[in-house]
Every structure is written in C-alpha cells, then in structure tokens.
Amino acid sequence: MGRDVRELRGAWTRYQRHAYHEPSPELAPWVERYWEAHWDYAEPYRQKIVPYPNVHVSFGDGRADVNGVVSGFRTRVLEGVNHVFGVAFRPGCFRPFLGAPVSTITDRVVPVAEVFGDVPAHVDMDKDAAEEFLLAHLPEPDARTAEAVGAVALIAADPALTRVETVADRLGVGVRGLQRLFAEYVGIGPKWVIRRYRLREVTERMAAGGEIDWAALAADLGYADQGHFIRDFKNMFGEPPTRYAERY
C-alpha cells in the first residue's frame, strides 16, 4: 500500500497547526499542559496518534469527552477545516477527579458529564474557560497521587530503567504493589509505561536525523534481541521503526 505523501518528511505541518499552553500554578499539580490542534484537509487524512500515559479531556465537534489512557496507537480521520482543544492531565493525577481506578477508563472515551457531573457552557473551549471549569471541580488531596506521579516521572527521566523490578526496587516497593498503584492511578501497567518512555528515545533519534544502528539501539533499550524491539515498536506506533522513520 502506498504512503500518503502528506505524512512524510514533516509535510503534515502544511495542513495542521498545533499550540500548547502551560497551566496556572493552581492547576499545575494536576494538569501537564493544554493543547490545540487546527487542521485544513480538502481530502480526508488518516492521523496516527501514539499514546503517552496521560488522561485527556477534549473539546471539539460539539463534544466534551474524557479520553482514558490508550494501550496502543489510534487513527483518527481528519477532514475539512476543524479544531480540537484538549487538557492533558499529568500521569497519575486523574484518579481524584474520576473517583474510581483510572484503569476503568483505559481504552475508553466517556462523556465529560459522566465524570464531572456537568459540561462547560463554552462551545469553543480555550485555556481560560478550561481552567475556570477545572478549578470549580478540584478534588480533595490524595496522598497516593504523589506516589504515582513520582513513579512515572522516575521512569521518564532515567533511560537505564528497563525493568519493572528495577523501578520497584528504586521506589522501595514490591512489584505487585507497584502494579496496583499504576492500575489505580495511572490506568496502565508499569511495564507499558517503561516501554513507552524508552521508545520515545527512538523517535527522538529519528527526529535528530542520521543513521541508526537498530540492533545496538534495541540492546541499549533493554531488549534481548532486535525482533522483540521491532514488535513492541509496531504495537505502539502501528508500523515498523524503519517505516515510521520516513515521517521525519
């Protein structure tokens, strides 16, 4: 199957515009960032979306949705002129808003009203309106939220962490306890989170350009062989790393 040339070598920037905004100090403990995407496609475009362990609340097309962590890539068809505004919650921070284990909404999209009890009156959401809405729904403090946030931050920051057992040892907890914490607060297991942040390093090398020694890179990321690395990458990104690299 031929490639859509609009996805190759950064061509998407001619059709899409993205913007990011920092949260206010009051919401920074909960919100990682606000984001906006605007697009203009005369012909439908299949946008590949690769996940991180964030819960998102999105506003667009007259909808207001809570998007749970997704376990693999998703494809969304973009067409015409449109836009979406979103709130990316810090990994581990949505449990107090949800009032239930975050794993209950993994791979699910649920209406905002089911979680928050109402929806913003604004049709065209922006940062100010989103902050007003969230400040009106701030939950009570939850001590375990900080534990989950710290565990994900540790994984994200240390490329040497490639095993759940090592992360558990660093945090001074058991493997089963770490898995329960992630199911309750992050929405997906620590093994998945480790794999996602290590694969982020792959796309960073792609973006930097130059030749990549795939076998050596797989070893650096803790894979026993290149085949396991390629399989994990394809499950997460929807295509093998050499094909995905063409996007850069």
CATH number at residue 166: 1.10.10.60
Which residue range is the domain that position 112 belongs to? Answer: 5-135
How far is 197 from 2, CA to CA, in rounded Å?
30
Same domain? 84 vs 154:
no
How far is 9 from 22, CA to CA, in rounded Å?
28
Residues 37, 43, 44, 45: is their CA dihedral positive or negative? Answer: negative
Kindly state the percentage of the chain with pLDDT values over 70: 99
Same domain? 54 vs 116:
yes
Judged against a pLDDT cut of 80, whether residue 116 lies above it is answered with yes
What's CA 143's distance to the chain center, in Å?
23
Weakest mean pLDDT among 108-117, 149-158, 198-207: 198-207
When pLDDT is cut at 50, 70 and 90, the band that residue 175 belongs to is very high
Find the mean pLDDT for residues 161-183.
97
Same domain? 116 vs 155:
no
The confidence score (pLDDT) of residue 72 equals 93
Boundary-marking domain end, from 135, 156, 176: 135
Same domain? 153 vs 91:
no
Report the number of distinct structural domains present in the chain.
2
The confidence score (pLDDT) of residue 1 equals 56
Kindly state the percentage of the chain with pLDDT values over 90: 81
Residues whose CB is less than 8 angstroms from the CB of residue 24 and which lie 6 or more positions away in sequence, other chains included: 131
Weakest mean pLDDT among 110-114, 123-127, 172-176: 123-127
Same domain? 20 vs 126:
yes
Same domain? 92 vs 11:
yes
Judged against a pLDDT cut of 60, whether residue 66 lies above it is answered with yes
Same domain? 13 vs 125:
yes
The confidence score (pLDDT) of residue 177 equals 98
Same domain? 165 vs 51:
no
Boundary-marking domain end, from 135, 165, 197: 135
Same domain? 92 vs 153:
no
| Range 215-239 burial, b when 16+ CB lie within 10 A, else e | eebbebbbbeeeeebbebbbebbbe
Same domain? 131 vs 173:
no
The confidence score (pLDDT) of residue 12 equals 87
When pLDDT is cut at 50, 70 and 90, the band that residue 123 belongs to is low
When pLDDT is cut at 50, 70 and 90, the band that residue 2 belongs to is confident
Same domain? 155 vs 187:
yes
C-beta neighbour count of 38 within 10 angstroms: 14
Same domain? 95 vs 59:
yes
Boundary-marking domain end, from 106, 135, 164: 135
The confidence score (pLDDT) of residue 184 equals 98
The confidence score (pLDDT) of residue 245 equals 87
The pairs formed by 110-117 with CB atoms below 8 angstroms and a separation of 24 or more are 110/65, 110/66, 110/68, 111/63, 111/64, 111/65, 111/66, 112/57, 112/64, 112/65, 112/66, 113/64, 114/66, 115/66
